[in-house]
Amino acid sequence: MERLNSVAELAACIPDRASLALAPDYSGCALRVVHALIRRRARDLHLIGVPQLGFQADLLIGAGCVASVETAAVTLGEQGPAPRFVAAVKAGRIEVRDSTCPVLHAGLQAAEKGLPFLPLRGILGSDLMRHRPAWRVIDNPFRDQGGADDPILLVPAIRPDVALFHAPRADRAGNVWIGVRRELMTMAHAAKTTLVTVEDITDDDLLADDMSAAGTIPGLYVSAVAPARAGAWPVGLRGAYPPDLEHLGLYAEMATTEAGFTRYLKRFVLQPAAAE
């Protein structure tokens, strides 16, 4: 693990055209890195929702950084639809690969296990099957001989180029404590590179105490860490600070138009924080 000194250095590790796995708004969003990607004018990113996308994805889409998304949903939750995503879809500016929560988790789990696919049943017969030709259906090879057909969906492994998220803390060996947010563990296992911002870096060994070790990603799976106080703002971070609903409401209102979104970027994103 390489500890980086700044958010900008972490963002520089995400190349244009990378497939980028992002956490949902309720998990661990590395918003400071997203801001840095927008300032860098990153382009042609493929976003993977784990399992859905929200505020950080809408920012990247509105800023022209995204070529495609693969996700179960893109939403601002209580603030309503994600306005820049909706506008981009209507204008045909991004490709949308519809998926579901179980499919995304299965694909990532296949990658973390080093498998080419995992079997799944839940979406057989849905309209999604017609739009995802890479998904394959086979007959269960272990069904009882002479029994009825037993179709199984094979979900291809999803191996992101980069997993990006924010967490409460890391230690100096690169172990990252995520608590109950197990989707972040799956992201780190599945991705080729895992980049993490944290509120604090502790001198304690997070794997030495059973109370913290159970919710800790070993540094083996973490490529780089950068400190970023309030790095998930405004969506909040479990156990640290709540979402800033007033700010999220302001964004949802401003981003309904291209001009309003541009004003939002100029006010809140395009001026780097002094610490970066």
Domain ranges of the chain: 2-100+158-202+211-268, 117-156
Burial of 149 (0-12, 13-18, 19+ CB in 10 A): exposed
Average of pLDDT values for 142-164? 91
User: Band of the pLDDT at 274, cuts 50, 70, 90?
Assistant: very low
| pLDDT above 80 for 272 | no
What local confidence, expressed as pLDDT, does residue 143 receive? 86
pLDDT for position 5: 73
pLDDT of residue 12: 95
Q: How far apart are the C-alpha atoms of 65 and 269, rounded to whole Å? A: 14
Where is average pLDDT lowest: 24-38, 75-89, 144-158, 262-276?
A: 262-276
pLDDT of residue 2: 64
What mean pLDDT value characterizes the chain? 94
Coil, helix or strand at residue 113: coil
Which of the 8 DSSP states describes residue 221?
A: G
Burial of 127 (0-12, 13-18, 19+ CB in 10 A): exposed
More confidently predicted of 25 and 4: 25
Average pLDDT over residues 157-177: 97
> How confident is the model over 186-202, as pLDDT tens digits?
999 999 999 999 999 99
The reported pTM is 0.94
Check: CB of residue 130 under 8 Å from CB of residue 96. Answer: no
% of the chain beyond a pLDDT of 90: 88
- CA 57, 32, 105, 160 torsion-angle sign: positive
Radius of gyration of the CA atoms of the chain, in A: 19
Q: Is the per-residue pLDDT at 252 higher than 60?
A: yes
Mean pLDDT for 102-122 is 96
Q: Give per-residue pLDDT as tens, 69-90.
A: 999 999 999 999 999 999 999 9
Report the C-alpha gap between 41 and 38 in whole angstroms: 5
| Span 202-241, pLDDT tens digits | 999 999 999 999 999 999 999 999 999 999 999 999 999 9
* Per-residue confidence (pLDDT) for residue 215, from 0 to 100: 96
pLDDT of res. 146: 73
- pLDDT(275) > 60: no
Distance from C-alpha of 84 to C-alpha of 61, rounded to nearest angstrom? 6
pLDDT of res. 115: 97
Q: What angle do CA 188, 191, 196 make, to 5 degrees?
A: 45
For residue 271, name the pLDDT band (cuts at 50, 70, 90). confident
Task: Give the CATH class of 2-100+158-202+211-268.
Answer: alpha beta
Q: Does 35 score more than 50 pLDDT?
A: yes
